[in-house]
Structure formats: C-alpha cells, structure tokens
Structure 1
Amino acid sequence: MHRPPSAEAEVADELAVVRPALLPRYEAALPGARAAVLSRLWRGLAHDPLPWVTRREQGGDGLTLHLRDGRRLHGPRPDPYATGAYVTVVRLDETDYDDPARLVTGLAVPHSASFAGELGHSVASLALSRAGQEGVRDTWPDRDWEWEQRVVDGHPFHPTCRSRPGFSVAEQLAYGPEHRPLVELGLVPVRARECLVTGEWPAALRDGRHLVLPVHPWQAAHVLKRSCEERRVAHPLMSLRTLALPGGPHVKTSLSARLTSSVRDISLPSVAASALLSDFAAVPAARADGLLHVTRTLGAAAAGSPDFAAVLRQSPQEYAGGGERVLPVAALATTGLPGSPGWLAGFARLTLAVGLRLLELGVALEAHGQNLLVVLSAAGEPVRLVYRDLADIRVSPARLARHGIAVPELPARMVTDDEDALRRKLFGSLVAGALAGAAGSGGALAAALQTAVRDLPPSPDLTALRTEPLPAKALTLMRLSPHTPGDQWARLPNPLC
C-alpha cells in the first residue's frame, strides 16, 4: 500500500529547492529533533489524565503505562521538568519507537491520526530551526528582538513545539524568528468608521479618514487573499505573529494558523478591552515594590474580524536602564546563567515574590517564558520583571475588593474567584513552565524552589504551592481531545515535597 511522504521527507524535498545548502545540516538535526519531541510527548503520556491509560507502574528500569486495550507502553523514568532530549526510544508491547509520530500512529487512540501529523511537522520544523543556528549564540545581543530569536526549540514542554501546519519551508524561513529574517508587514488602509479602535492609534498609521492596519504577509496571502502595496520592515519575535518595528513598538498581528495548541487570531472582545485592561494592570503592578512593569497597550484596532486586527504594545526594552538587558525568560537557557544554583535560586525568589504578590492582590498572571521577561543588571543579576500580553490573565473580584482595587468591565472568561483556577493559572505557567524551563531538570528546579520559598511571606497561596501537586497544562491530552474547549490540566509531582 502506498504511504504518503512523511513531513521530514516533504521538508527535505522543499529545502533542496529553496535552500539546498541547508539540507545536510537539516538531515543531521533530525535524530535530535525526534528525541526532543519524543521527550515532550513522553512527559504528557506519563502525567496527563489520558482516559485510555488505566494504570501507571514505576519500576527499576522506568515507567510502564497499562492501556485500556491490554497493551503496555514502556519508557524511561520521566522527569516532568526536564527540557533535554532524554527519551530516545519508547516501547509499545514488543515494538520500539524512536519517532513520536509513528508512536502515536501505533497507539491508534481517538484523534491520534491528526496528532501524529502535528508531531511529524513538529520534528521536521524543529530540525529545520536547528539547522540554521551555526555561530548564532557566540555573543550576547543588545537588541530585544535578537534575544527573542535565540529561542530555537519553541515551547519547552509541548510535543508540537515547532508544528507550523500551513507554512511551506520557504515561509518558515521567511517568517520564523529563529531564522532571523526581516519581515515586510503589509500596511492596509481601512475606513476608520468601519474599525473597532481602542487606545491611541498613532498618527503614523493614519491616512486621513483611514486607519492603516499592519498585516502579517502570511495572513494577507492565505486568509485575507489580498496583496499589500505598502510595507514596513519588522523583526519577528518569539510568537511569530508579533514583530518589533525598528525604533518603534511591538506589533501583534492576526495570524490564523495553528501554532502549538491554538489558532492565533485577535478576538474582537480582546481588542475592545485592551486599553482598559492595560490601565487596570498598572494598578496592582505598582504595588509590587518596583519589581514588576507591565508593557502598555498603545492602541488596538480590528476591521470587523479577528482575522484582520492588530495590537500595538510598548517594547519591553523601554524598561531597561543603563547597562541592563531585557530578555524573555525562555531565552535564559541560552545564557548559561541558570546553570548557577545561586543565580537560579535568586531568580526563582524574584519571580515567586512578584507572582504571589499579584495573586494575593487578585491578578493571576500567565507568566510563561514568552510573556515573562527579566531585566538583567550589567553583571547578569536578575533585578526586575516585565510582563506582556494580558489577554490570558485571570482576575479575582473578591481579592481585588479586599485590597481596594476596582474591577473594570473585563471579558467574562478572565474573571473568577475560584482559588484553584487562579492558582493553576499562575503556578502552571510560572513554576511548571517558566522556572522549570529555565532550570532544565526536576533536581535543579527543586533546589532553587527550596531556597527561594524560605524568604517569602506566608500565605494560603504559598502553602498550596509548597504542599499540593503542581498544576501544568495537559498539552498532550488537549491535542488528543480537540473538541473539548478550554484548558485541561495535569498534576505533576511537587518538587517541594
């Protein structure tokens, strides 16, 4: 029976045409990319509440998953906080798998075919991303977008960390931040009366009675089906759809493609609430003892659709003083700094102090490695934090009221007094995400947390962090249950216990 070509082969064929010099490095990177994605997948299989796993059994040689149909899946003892490619083979009954896409195909569980396709794309795109990195990390960057582009492997724990379905190889090379391209944003004039606008839309992006909306070129070609006569060069950031204008703000564009878990548009409610939310966030941030800045939303506009919208934000670089650098937490692994136990403990103390303080006030940040940035002193010490992108925070009216902070009219999905939901949002993103990603292993994370929490003021939230299983998004379960809305959660072993 004829088998369709794999994503790895498809990328190789395209690469041979558009960038043949890169092909040998791409092929050499494939085994490491398979192991990196397989390691992320194994974390999900080992810890997510998958309905077809009936029992998990630890043994001297690893972990065995007993499946509902009687089969057994065996792999190494999982470290839920490891970011390296430590899993090279997983055995399903008597068959060994070193390819995550083939493993999921072999599992043959509901929705496994589509998930296997995403995993195949993730491996191929990850190998392509790694292929172009020769000599890139020899020096520390000075500009914010250069730090963003050092994050090559994408999400540290998501099996589809580099899946970009709908992007050709040429488009990945042209738009992917890890390939360090210059992207020409389209500038599309739209009648102002036809737009939803909040904040101050700048004069530079107005033309008489028209607003000029920046449009990502992929979106223009594949979704809006239009050409853009005027363009402006920008540098793509970690999220791919957000770009830095030279000397100007960051531009978040609509990009109706699935990246990791979600299709990345800009909802009309988020445009409507953006200015109000930006003003509101400044209030609790001001009570964090000068340790937190929140980038302001300058303006947001939508031309009647989530597919045609843009948000302008301050560059985090504006919060750096003389000799300081601002970089996303996801980029810390490229600096070598977290390799020092003392540095990592100090960083953990800073982030937990700020996160728990905001949570006490009534704001749960989604402080993963992309949204959370750290200000480093000239000596490389963590001194302050910067937070960006307020679209997925959670806000507690009851907690805010206790501290005399008024609650604005926010989208309903952001508002909750559920203690578990608030703690999941912060602990799942900050501890199981940003801090674990910086630490790189469960042992390093545990040591840093144990030192950090000694100096933190007691609170019910801190008690929960120290004593309860650590929440983390069940990313594998979420990709295998695509019709279940919202986040689903796993409970990881607490490194503080």
Structure 2
Amino acid sequence: MHRPDTAEAEVAEELAAVRPRLVPRYGAELPGARAAVLSRLWRAFAHEPLPWIAGRETARDGLVLRLGDGRQLAGPAADPYRTDAYVRVVRLDEVPYDDPARLVTDLAVPHSAGFAAELGHSVASLALSRAGAEHHPDEWPDSDWAWERRVVDGHPFHPNCRSRPGFSVAEQLAYGPEHAPVVGLGLVPVPAVECLVSGVWPRDLRDGASLLLPVHPWQAAHVLKRPCDEQLAAHPLMSLRTLAVPGGPHVKTALSTRLTSSVRDISVASIAASATLSSFGEALAARMDGLLHVTRTLGAATAHSPDLAAVLRESPQVYAAPGERVVPVAALATTDLPRSPAWLAAFARLALTVGLRALELGVALEAHGQNLLVALSPTGDPLRLVYRDLADIRISPARLAHHGLPAPGLPARMLTDDATTLRRKLFGSLVGGALASVAGSGPALGAALEGAVRELPRTGDLRALCGASLPVKALTVMRLTPDRTGDIWTELPSPLTAGRPASDGQG
C-alpha cells in the first residue's frame, strides 16, 4: 500500500547525516505517524464541509463518503473526539491507502497538491519527534519546559499536527521541545528610540541607549539573515517560538514560518496592545473567585517589524502553591489522571465553570490545550486554571458594560457582541479542543460533560453548549482554501447528545 514519500525519504537522509543512531527508531515510528495523521484527516473528511464530498453514509463496517465525481472513500466510523491513531487504512474505490499524503494526492481536489506536501511533512516530522523523544510517563516533571516537551504529537486534531516547513532535521533536533534541547537566544541591540515598547523592558536586556531584543536562532539565520551571538539559554515550550528562561520569564520570539496552520510572527499592533491586555486579564481574573489566573505580560518590544519583536511573560509556575504543579492541559493526556472518570468530570466542571463565567462577563477565551493550564494538588486534584496569551480572545463590550468592566483601548479586531462568534471561540477551543483531547473519545467526553453541566447555572450560553452540535474550526477546509482568510467553522455532533441523529457536517 505504501511507497516511500519524498518527505519521509528526505528526513531519513538528513537524519542519517546528523543523528544516525536515530535512523532505526525513525523508520520504526513511520507507520504509527502515518496512522496518526490519517486519523486526523479522516475526522476532517467525516465532519468538515468539504465541497467535493457529496454525501456521507453509515455502513455496516464504518463510513462511506460519496465524492462529487462519483468515487467512493471508505473507512472506519469516525469519532470526532477520538485522539488515538485508530485509522490505519482507508479505501478510495477499493484501493487501500495508509499514507495520508498519497491519498490526498490521488484525490486530486482543488489545492490538494500543496496540502499533500504538508501532510507528508507532518508524517515525517511526527516520526522524527517520536523517535527523538524521551518517554518517562511515570515521572512528574518539576519544570514547566519538561511538562511541555511531553506533548510530542502536536495538535490533537489537526492533520498538520507536526508540520514544520522550513526546518531542517538538524534544526528540528536543535529547537523542537520534544528533543529536550537548550536553545541559545540571540540578543539583538536596537536603539530604544527606534523601538515600540509596551510595559517595562528589563534592565538586563538593555545596553546603554539600546534594547536587547531576544531573537530565535532560526529567525536570525533564515529571516533576519544576520549573525546573532547566542547569549540567553532557554528551553523551548510546545509552541516552539516561546521559551522558558530558568528562574525567569517565558520569552515569546518572532518565528516567521508556518507551524501547523499559522505563520508565527509578532505584529506591531499586538506589541502596542500587550500592556493593556495584560491589565485587562488581571481585572478578569479578579472576578473569577480565585479559580483563574492570567499570566502577566512583563514587557514587550518591537523594532516596528513583526520579524524583530519579543514578549516577556510570567511563567505560569508562579501561580503554583507549595506542593502543586501547574500543567498545560495538552500534557494531561500523558498522565494517568484522565483514566479516572471522576477526575475527568471534576476537571470538566472546573474548566466549564471558569470558561462560562468568563463568557458571561464578556470574555471568550481561546482555551485550547496550549493556552490553558491547570493547577494540580499534590494528589492530582484539579484546583484552578491558569491562562496565558490573550492575543486571540474575543471580547463583548456590551457584556462587559453589563457587569461594570471597562474595556479601554482594546484592539478592535477582538471586539464583538455577536453571541455566535463568542461561543464559537470558547466552545471550539475549550470543549472541542482542550477537554476533548484530555478525554480522548466522544463517550468519555460526554460522560464528563454531563456531570459538569448539571451543576452549572442555566444561562443562555450553557443552553447553547448543550445543543445538538458543537462548533469547531474546520482545520482541513482552511488548509484547502488558501485564498480565504480567517476562520472557517463546522459543526460536530455534540458529545452531550451522541444518541441523537447528527448532521453530516455539510451545513
């Protein structure tokens, strides 16, 4: 069924040159990586509004998709909340495919060539990540970066879960958190009069009349194209471009390449708004009865360029009391905690309480597993949440005003009173993303949510959450629609109403 993919072969060749001892492990990880990406892709085919899928039919042994050109694509029943690599083979007119890149190539739908290349890179990079990662599931790390490097597989539902175009194998090994490197950030001097600064830029990142802007070495080599002495040792976090300085802040660097879906830079507008947003986050947290902390932005600076900028944030660990651990939600699936239905229900109750309360106040958090962290007691009980990176939240001025919360100077792109937009932002990220990834399947997620919603106030937002469908981003449609900007959404059958007839996702 499988012929060696160009991306897989290229990575193998580079790996043989820079880390030959990993070559056998890389080869052994390739089948599982193909299945992991194919499972994410099959979820999209089963539930996203792809225009070339004419219909979806439940079959005795799975799911059959009728394509607009008369072909049929068949595979297993698709649980949209399942996270394991359960799809090993799908059949296009009886021809079996175990390789997602070759499947998309042979589908030959609009923009499929570019997407197929991304999928091939995702498979190869995922196999590389798994080959190089150290697995210690029984150990609970003491550092924030050690928790984050356990998230080896990237986005739990995106087929481009590990796509890192523009990164050589040597660079992935040097900068990918799963490989546990220490990264030397460069410090580029820029005259202070030529910089936009928000908040307070620290003294130890100044040199006379110049600011020293932390620069990722990949950015220095490929974008700035300048030598950059590596002076600040830091550990990469799961976003790759954000790194933890031991005993110090988290440093968000500009990294102008596409990772998963988005080009990673830091806009001048986001620097300008960072101090205001940070203060707003503190005001929001003060209304949450101690159940939510929002990490503060300590300082942000840009040389008036998205390619040369940095943001300094508190480490979420500052909100851990003695004996507690603050763990990214994406890393919870690497522990045994979610195997307990009681623990999962308690975590869902905490997450929904915080998310819906913030939404009632007028703030829709983008609470996916990377932005959202949980403080755990010494015995693992979920106590409260920590949220970081306010750049993509949505804010309702009308709801804020109703609760007496000011919204001075917030970016216009964040402001909306449209309930659908606000609910999509929260429900898609928190329920369809963070909670689903921890639960690992629709039945487990539904059971956890059922217990939680019974104890929550019956607001309009909660009633919307308990409807027949759940909004999530149509991640594959967005990659196959390169000429369209902004988010595209689809509806998944709600895990709370799994027994009801569900839409086929074509709405």
Give the shorter-chain TM-score range: over 0.9
Checking the alignment, whether the CA contact within 8 Å between 1:188 and 1:230 is kept in structure 2 is: no
C-alpha distance in structure 1 between counterparts of 2:463 and 2:137, whole Å: 40
CA distance in 2, matches of 1:9, 1:302: 39
* 1:433-483: CA deviation from partner (whole Å, max 9, x where unpaired): 000000000110011001111111110000000114101110010110011
Q: CA RMSD in A?
A: 1.1
Alignment of 1:349-368 (within 5 A): 349-368=349-368
Tell me by how many angstroms 1:133 deviates.
Answer: 2.7
Residue 230 of structure 1 and its aligned partner are, at CA, apart by: 4.9
Cα distance between partner residues in 1 of 2:174 and 2:397: 44
Mapped pair 1:370 → 2:377:
no
Tell me which moved more, 224-233 or 177-186. Answer: 224-233
Paired amino acid for 1:52:
W
**In the alignment, what sits opposite 2:503?**
none
Instruction: Give the match for residue 382 of structure 1.
Output: 382
Look up the equivalent residue of 1:69 and give its one-letter code.
Answer: D
| Per-residue CA distance 1:366-405 (angstroms, 9 max, x = gap) | 0000000000000100001000000000000010010011
Q: What pairs up with 1:115-264 in 2 under 5 angstroms?
A: 115-264=115-264
SS at match of 1:131: helix
Q: Deviations over 1:22-55 (max 9, x none)?
A: 1101000000000000000000111111111111
**Given that residues 217 and 230 in structure 2 are in contact (C-alpha distance below 8 angstroms), is that contact kept between their aligned partners in structure 1?**
no
User: Which letter maps to 1:424?
Assistant: R
Q: Distance in 1 between matches of 2:266 and 2:136?
A: 32
Query: Would you say 1:65 and 2:65 are equivalent positions?
Result: yes
Could you state the TM-score of these two structures normalised by the residue count of structure 1?
0.98
With 283-292 and 307-316 compared, the bigger mean Cα shift is at 283-292
Amino acid at match of 1:322: P
User: Partner letter of residue 13 of structure 2?
Assistant: D
Are residue 427 (structure 1) and residue 448 (structure 2) matched?
Answer: no
Q: Helix, strand or coil for the counterpart of 2:234?
A: strand
Deviation at 1:244, TM superposition (A): 0.3
| Matching of residue 75 in structure 1 with residue 83 in structure 2 | no
How many residue pairs end up in the alignment? Answer: 495
SS at match of 2:129: helix
Q: Secondary structure in 2 aligned to 1:256?
A: strand
Aligned to 1:107: 107
Gaps of 5+ in 2: 498-507
The question of whether the paired residues in 2 share the 8 Å contact of 1:163 and 1:260 is answered with yes
Change (3 A) 1:5 1:57: closer
Which residue is 2:505 aligned to?
A: none
Q: Does the Cα contact within 8 Å between 1:189 and 1:211 map onto a contact in 2?
A: yes
1:11 counterpart letter in structure 2: V
- 1:305 match: secondary structure: coil
> Which residue of structure 2 aligns with residue 282 of structure 1?
282
Look up the match of 1:444.
444
Aligned to 1:317: 317
Deviation of the 1:132 alpha carbon:
1.8
In structure 2, the partner of 1:38 is 38
Structure 1: runs of 5 or more not aligned: none
How far has the Cα of 1:139 moved from its partner? 1.1
Aligned: 1:12 with 2:12: yes
Displacement, 1:213? 0.1
The 1-side partners of 2:405 and 2:468 are apart by 29
Distance change (3 Å), C-alpha of 1:488 and 1:159: same
What is the rounded CA distance, in whole Å, between the counterparts of 2:411 and 2:352 in structure 1? 27
What's the counterpart of residue 494 of structure 2? Answer: 494
Stretch moving more, 323-332 or 460-469: 460-469
CA contact (8 A) 1:364 1:423 kept: yes
Deviates more, 1:333-342 or 1:66-75: 66-75
- 1:5, CA displacement in angstroms? 6.1
Q: Is the 8 A contact 2:134 2:179 kept in 1?
A: no
Once the two structures are TM-superposed, the CA of residue 207 in structure 1 deviates from its matched residue by 0.9
Q: Secondary structure at the match of 1:26?
A: helix
The one-letter amino acid of 1:185's match is: L
Could you tell me how far apart the structure 2 residues matched to 1:57 and 1:135 are?
A: 40
Change in Cα spacing, 1:4 to 1:431, as seen in structure 2 (3 Å) is: closer
* CA contact 2:39–2:86 (8 Å) conserved in 1: yes
Take 1:468 and 1:214, find their aligned partners in 2: how far apart are those partners? 47
- The residue that corresponds to 2:502 in the other structure is none
Paired residue type of 1:308: L
Pairs within 5 Å for 1:44-55: 44-55=44-55
Q: CA deviation at 1:137?
A: 3.0
CA distance in 2 between partners of 1:483 and 1:344 (Å): 40
- The structural deviation recorded for 1:134 is 4.2
- Residue aligning to 1:478: 478
Q: Deviations over 1:138-194 (max 9, x none)?
A: 411011111011110000000000000100000000000011000000011100010
Tell me how far apart the structure 1 counterparts of residues 238 and 192 of structure 2 sit (CA, whole Å).
Answer: 30
- C-alpha deviations, 1:55-103, integer Å up to 9, x for none? 1111221111111111111111100000000000111112111000001
* 3-state SS of paired residue (1:227): coil
Residue 336, structure 1, aligned to residue 336, structure 2: yes
Cα deviation for residue 136 of structure 1 reads: 3.5
Counterpart-to-counterpart distance in 1, 2:268 and 2:465: 35
Amino acid in the other structure paired with 1:272: A
Instruction: State the alpha-carbon separation in 1 of the partners of residues 47 and 96 from structure 2.
Output: 21
Percent of aligned positions that are identical: 74
SS of residue paired to 2:185: strand
C-alpha distance 171-418 of structure 1, shift in aligned 2 (>3 A): same
- Does the C-alpha gap of structure 1 residues 230 and 25 become closer, same or farther in structure 2, counting only changes over 3 Å? closer
Call closer, same or farther: CA 1:82–1:300 in 2, change over 3 Å: same
In the aligned structure 2, how far is the partner of 1:495 from the partner of 1:368? Answer: 17
Cα distance, 1:135 vs structure 2? 4.0
Q: Secondary structure at the match of 1:423?
A: helix
Which residue identity is paired with 2:58? Q
Distance 2:108 2:305 in 1: 37
Give the secondary structure class of the aligned counterpart of 2:228: coil
Aligned residues of 1:65 and 1:74 also touching (Cα < 8 A):
yes
TM-score by structure 2 length?
A: 0.96
What CA deviation, in whole Å up to 9, does each residue of 1:296-349 have, x standing for no partner? Answer: 001111112101100000000000000000010000011110010000000000
Question: For residues 181 and 489 of structure 2, what CA distance do their matches in structure 1 show?
Answer: 36
Residue 334 of structure 1 aligns to a residue in which SS? coil
Distance 1:227 1:42 in 2: 44
| 1:19–1:362 Cα change, 3 Å | same
Deviation at 1:229, TM superposition (A): 2.8
